[in-house]
């Protein structure tokens, strides 16, 4: 159990028998007596973001999470398969559990799976990934680096904006936190 005054961003908490990740915490104190702790938390299963209010002094249960280093093998429709690199055990995750991470995962890529009570509940991506551009408009003479960019589709289906000089078949580095182009790889 954790006192609500000790809640920090990134913590995993169990509220109403659901696991939430804390996205934001604000503490408000009144002139006399106790304060209110407002939190914004994301439900791990559904992906919904909810706001919770706690009175100071309340306690909430902290979820024990563990990480395992895995390799993404392949997907079969809505099921994604991963292999633990130490035990060679395989895990099958539903597309809902993987979420938007599918746009950054390529076969044989190494990443981390987040577990709660030996059940995989989420995918932890590296901060950047290298993806191949499969569809973008051709470059024209006179296009410069400055002045925006053009839309492009990567091998995973991710839609990003790239500079004009990037062409089909080139590999680009993409930030998995923002979904933005960083550089050519």
- pLDDT of 125: 87
**Over the stretch 10-56, which tens digit does the pLDDT of each residue have?**
788 888 888 888 888 998 877 776 788 899 988 877 778 899 998 88
> 3-state class of 8 per DSSP?
coil
Name the pTM for this structure: 0.70
- pLDDT of 145: 53
- pLDDT of 143: 57
Structure tokens at 72: 């993404």
**Over the stretch 122-174, which tens digit does the pLDDT of each residue have?**
888 888 999 999 988 887 666 555 567 889 999 999 999 998 888 899 999 99
Sign, CA dihedral 167-170-173-177, equals positive
- In the chain, the domains with their CATH numbers are 2-62 (2.30.30.30), 65-124 (2.40.50.140), 128-184 (2.40.50.140)
Per-residue HEC secondary structure of 62-118 comes to: ECCEEEEEEEEEEEECCEEEEEECCCCCEEEEEHHHHHHHHHCCCCCCEEEEEEECC
Contacts 24+ apart (CB under 8 A), 29-33: 29/56
Spatial distance between the Cα atoms of 26 and 171, rounded to a whole number of angstroms? 41
Nearest to 125 by CA among 102, 158, 150, 151: 102
* Residues 181 and 148 sit within 8 Å (Cβ to Cβ): no
**Over the stretch 49-97, which tens digit does the pLDDT of each residue have?**
899 998 888 899 888 888 899 999 998 988 999 999 999 999 988 887 7
- pLDDT of 141: 61
Spatial distance between the Cα atoms of 178 and 38, rounded to a whole number of angstroms? 25
Strand order from edge to edge, sheet including 79-84: 90-94, 79-84, 65-76, 110-116, 119-124
């Amino acid at each position: 159990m954790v006192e609500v005054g000790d809640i920090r961003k990134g913590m995993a908490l169990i509220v109403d028998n659901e696991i939430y990740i804390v996205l934001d915490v604000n503490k408000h104190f009144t002139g006399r007596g106790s304060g209110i702790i407002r939190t914004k938390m994301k439900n791990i299963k559904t992906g919904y973001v909810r706001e919770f209010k706690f009175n100071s002094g309340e306690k909430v249960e902290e979820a024990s999470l563990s990480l395992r280093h895995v390799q993404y093998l392949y997907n079969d429709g809505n099921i994604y398969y991963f292999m633990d690199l130490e035990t060679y055990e395989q895990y099958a995750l539903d597309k809902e559990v993987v979420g938007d991470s599918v746009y950054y995962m390529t076969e044989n890529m190494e990443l981390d799976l987040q577990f709660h009570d030996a059940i995989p509940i989420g995918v932890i991506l590296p901060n950047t990934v290298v993806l191949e551009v499969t569809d973008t408009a051709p470059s024209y003479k006179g296009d410069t680096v400055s002045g925006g960019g053009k839309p492009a589709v990567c091998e995973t289906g991710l839609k990003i904006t790239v500079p004009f000089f990037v062409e089909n078949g080139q590999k680009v580095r993409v930030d998995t936190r923002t979904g933005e182009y960083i550089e050519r790889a």
